[in-house]
Amino acid sequence: MKSNRVEKECLSCEKVFSVPACRDWREHCCSSPCKKKHRENRANADKEARERQCIRCQELFYPRWTQINEGHAKYCGFVCSNKAMIEAAHTPEANAKRTEALRVAKLEGRWLSPPKGKSNPGYKGKRLGLCGYILVNDEGRQVSEHRLVMERFIGRALESDEIVHHINRDKTDNRIENLQVMTRAEHINEHRNDA
């Protein structure tokens, strides 16, 4: 009668043991202590294979295999990586290159980064606020454009409980014919069916 067991050599203690044929692919050690020892040996071998030395501070570190395969295992962490990047950006060659780029950009009449605020040629004195309303500068303070348009139209400051409603529901359309003054309760009733 043919045996359903297979003989194998333990990967840890090299002792010969037998396992059922159906578990041949998975059993590599003769006992639990041998499995544990084999796992530890494999982990130590893997750790030794991953060991690298930081090119900046000379400390030993253990990067992941993906970092090693992609060629990123040069620095032990963000601190050394960032310091090396800053040092590289402030070498005489990098400074000279940056100065030359600024000089050429100035001669050609362009900017490396566009100017902010009023010095930008595209500036129109407005910006879009977080709630979708257009904000404008009025005597040094930022106000909603729709409220400012309505205040100038009616010739007085709006009360705190007065709401300026956009008739066509477009918060950026601040034409006076699209604006209507309401109380807070009327405004809630107007938008009740919007959701």
Residue 119 lies in a domain: no
Closest CA to 131 of 160, 99, 164, 156: 164
Give the residues across from 52 on adjacent strands: 61
Q: Are residues 24 and 40 in the same domain?
A: yes
pLDDT the model gives residue 111: 62
Q: Are residues 58 and 109 in the same domain?
A: yes
Give the residues across from 17 on adjacent strands: 8
Q: Are residues 133 and 158 in the same domain?
A: yes
Give the residues across from 162 on adjacent strands: 183
Q: Are residues 58 and 42 in the same domain?
A: no
pLDDT the model gives residue 120: 67
Residue 2 lies in a domain: no
Q: What are the residues whose beta carbons fall under 8 Å from the beta carbon of 10, sequence distance 6 or more? A: 16, 17, 28, 29, 30, 34
Do residues 135 and 145 make contact, with C-beta atoms less than 8 angstroms apart? yes
Report in angstroms the alpha-carbon separations of 6 from 17, 113, 115.
8, 72, 77
Q: For residue range 34-63, list pLDDT tens digits in order.
A: 989 988 888 888 888 889 999 999 999 999
Overall number of domains in the chain = 3
Q: For residue range 92-117, list pLDDT tens digits in order.
A: 998 888 888 888 877 777 666 666 66
Q: Are residues 93 and 109 in the same domain?
A: yes
d(CA 65, CA 77): 15
Residue 148 lies in a domain: yes
pTM of the model: 0.39
Question: End of a domain among 63, 80, 113?
Answer: 113
Task: Identify the segments of the chain with pLDDT beneath 50.
Answer: none
d(CA 22, CA 37): 24
Domain span at residue 44 reads: 7-49
Q: Are residues 83 and 100 in the same domain?
A: yes
Phi/psi at 180 (nearest 5 deg)? -145, 130
Q: Are residues 29 and 64 in the same domain?
A: no
Residue 96 lies in a domain: yes
Residue 1 lies in a domain: no
Q: Are residues 30 and 84 in the same domain?
A: no
Q: Are residues 105 and 131 in the same domain?
A: no
Q: Are residues 45 and 60 in the same domain?
A: no
Q: Are residues 135 and 170 in the same domain?
A: yes
Residue 43 lies in a domain: yes
Residue 176 lies in a domain: yes
Residue 30 lies in a domain: yes
